[in-house]
């Protein structure tokens, strides 16, 4: 069985770039959102503000940093797979060219 494997490497690289942009956006949220939101409510007094502060305190979630690290690792592994594919493809192409020219 023979056939071509057609992989759009540029599309994959563009997708990894988009993933990294999303990671950067999410990382900002994980690191800053709750503390920034809480500090912007300082000095305000009402039942609503107290409830909102409780909600923000509950949003301090330990799973977000873990999830963020897992997605970062995933992105790095995708990049490694793309690089390995390109390297392997180039090696095979060189080998085929040298076999066909000899």
Asked if residue 85 belongs to a domain, the reply is: yes
Asked if residue 93 belongs to a domain, the reply is: yes
Asked if residue 91 belongs to a domain, the reply is: yes
Distance (Å, whole) CA 45 – CA 19: 40
User: The domain containing residue 41 runs over which residues?
Assistant: 9-101
Asked if residue 2 belongs to a domain, the reply is: no
Distance (Å, whole) CA 68 – CA 29: 11
Identity of the highest mean pLDDT range in 23-27, 29-33, 39-43, 75-79: 75-79
Per-residue confidence (pLDDT) for residue 2, from 0 to 100: 62
Asked if residue 22 belongs to a domain, the reply is: yes
Placement of tokens 């988009």 in the chain: 18
Asked if residue 19 belongs to a domain, the reply is: yes
Write the CA distances from 69 to 26, 32, 72, 80, integer angstroms: 11, 16, 5, 17
Q: How many separate domains does the chain show?
A: 1
Confidence (pTM): 0.65
How much is the average pLDDT of 5-30? 89
- Whether residue 23 is predicted with pLDDT greater than 60 in this model: the reply is yes
């Amino acid at each position: 069985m023979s056939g071509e494997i057609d992989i759009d490497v540029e599309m994959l690289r563009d997708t990894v770039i988009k993933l990294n942009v999303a990671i950067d956006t999410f990382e900002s949220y994980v690191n800053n959102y709750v503390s920034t939101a809480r500090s912007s409510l300082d000095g305000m007094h009402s039942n609503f503000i107290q409830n909102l502060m409780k909600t923000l305190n509950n949003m301090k979630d330990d799973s977000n940093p873990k999830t963020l690290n897992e997605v970062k690792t995933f992105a790095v592994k995708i990049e490694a797979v793309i690089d390995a594919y390109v390297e392997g493809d180039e090696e095979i192409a060189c080998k085929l060219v040298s076999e066909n020219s000899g």
